[in-house]
Amino acid sequence: MESVAVELASPTEDLTIVYLFMQADIVVKIVMAILAFMSVWSWAIAVEKVMQLSGHHGRARKFEQDFWSGTALEQLAERYGRDKNHPFGRVLAAALRDWDGYSVAKAGGAEANRELSKMESGLGVLSIIGSSAPFIGLFGTVWGIMNSFRAIAATDNTSLAVVAPGIAEALFATALGLLAAIPAVIFFNALSSNIAKYAAKLEGFVDDLAAMASREG
């Protein structure tokens, strides 16, 4: 019975991340660089938004304590209304411009929507990264595998030493795509949920102001 020998050649270089990047085709290198940038960008946005939302929630708790302690609304508006990082104060200042139920609901609601839009800035980027990064990585993988097949055809050699580096760099592109996409999706969902909780508090505050204005009117 005729036996078939399988050649298992050892790669001349360790398949480290740096080696895979340096040996990759220029197109794959560009894909890897884009994915690395997207990953850093998503982390930067997430850290910034977490710090921002943490501050907003802390200021909201302090404002609610002052509001329900019986402090005059004019004093609260003077104290907090000029702070661009204090949505509750800015909503109160907008509501006090015309103190009746309809105007408070309209002006306060409009200001609340503007403040929430500011807080949601950056979430669109996380959504784009989460949805597009895997496909960008897949493109790099397909391109790298095509290069591997061309190398096999050019050398007429199917040994592991020839095939492994190209396949490894191709799969590395997919790994980078997932590395960028997975945290971005997690950050997007977590931040969206956090902002939704804050939005519920802010909208409830607008409703309270409108009810107070209606009673006094």
Please give the pLDDT value at position 121: 92
Please give the pLDDT value at position 170: 80
pLDDT by 10s per residue, the chain, length 217: 444 333 434 444 566 767 777 777 788 889 989 999 999 999 999 999 999 999 999 999 999 998 888 888 889 888 888 888 899 999 999 988 888 888 888 999 999 999 999 999 999 999 999 999 999 999 988 988 887 777 777 776 666 666 677 777 788 889 999 999 999 999 999 999 999 999 999 999 999 999 988 887 6
Please give the pLDDT value at position 13: 52
Alpha-carbon span 55 to 132, nearest angstrom: 31
| Boundaries of every domain in the chain | 17-57+72-216
Alpha-carbon span 86 to 194, nearest angstrom: 17
Please give the pLDDT value at position 207: 92
Q: How far is CA 47 from CA 12, 40, 121, 122, 198, in A?
A: 41, 11, 13, 11, 18
Please give the pLDDT value at position 81: 86
